[in-house]
C-alpha cells in the first residue's frame, strides 16, 4: 500500500538504551521529517532531510541521530534514551504543497 509507515507503533525501553524508530515512504518524496508530540508542547520538529544523505537539525535535535542512505527510509535513533524522550513520534514526507504523516510511534522510556 502506498503511504508512509512507521515502526514499531509502540515501544517501551529502558533509560540508557539505544532505540531506533523506523520510517518508510512508498513515494519518492525528497523531504522527510521527524516530529515529537508532547502534552503542552504540540508538535516539534526534531530533524529533517531534503534528500538522501542530506539531513539537518530542527527545533529539538539533542539526543537524536538520523540517517538517510535511501530516499524512502529515514530512521531516527535515540543514542541513549532518557525519560524526557518519552513521547509520540511522527514521521512525515512532503511534496512541497502537502505533507503526509505516519501513524506515529508511542515511545515510553522507563
Partner 1 sequence: DAKTTQPTSMDCAEGRAANLPCNHSTISGNEYVYWYRQIHSQGPQYIIHGLKNNETNEMASLIITEDRKSSTLILPHATLRDTAVYYCIVRVNDYKLSFGAGTTVTVRA
Minimum CB distance to partner 1, residue 104 (Å): 6
Residue 7 near partner 1 by CB under 8 A: no
Whichever of 58 and 63 has its CB closer to partner 1, that residue is 58
Residue 48 near partner 1 by CB under 8 A: yes
Residue 103 near partner 1 by CB under 8 A: yes
Cα(21)–Cα(65) distance, integer angstroms: 11
Whichever of 20 and 106 has its CB closer to partner 1, that residue is 106
Minimum CB distance to partner 1, residue 50 (Å): 8
Secondary structure (DSSP) of the chain: --SEEEE-SEEEE-TT--EEEEEEESS--SEEEEEEEETTTEEEEEEEEEETTEEEE-S--TTEEE--SSTTB--EEESS--GGG-EEEEEEEE-SS-EEE---EEEEE-
Whichever of 47 and 78 has its CB closer to partner 1, that residue is 47
Which spans of this chain sit near partner 1 (rule: CB under 8 A)?
31, 33, 35, 42-43, 45, 48, 58, 88, 90, 92, 94-104
Amino acid at each position: 500500500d502506498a503511504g508512509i509507515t512507521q515502526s514499531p507503533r509502540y515501544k517501551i525501553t529502558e533509560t540508557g538504551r539505544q532505540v531506533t524508530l523506523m520510517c518508510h515512504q512508498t513515494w519518492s518524496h525528497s523531504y522527510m521529517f521527524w516530529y515529537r508530540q508532547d502534552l503542552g508542547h504540540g508538535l516539534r520538529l526534531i530533524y529533517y532531510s531534503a534528500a538522501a544523505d542530506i539531513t539537518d537539525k530542527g527545533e529539538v535535535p539533542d539526543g537524536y541521530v538520523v540517517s538517510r542512505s535511501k530516499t524512502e527510509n529515514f530512521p531516527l535513533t535515540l543514542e541513549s534514551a532518557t525519560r524526557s524522550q518519552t513521547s509520540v513520534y511522527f514521521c512525515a514526507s512532503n511534496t512541497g504543497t502537502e505533507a503526509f504523516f505516519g501513524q506515529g510511534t508511542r515511545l515510553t522510556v522507563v
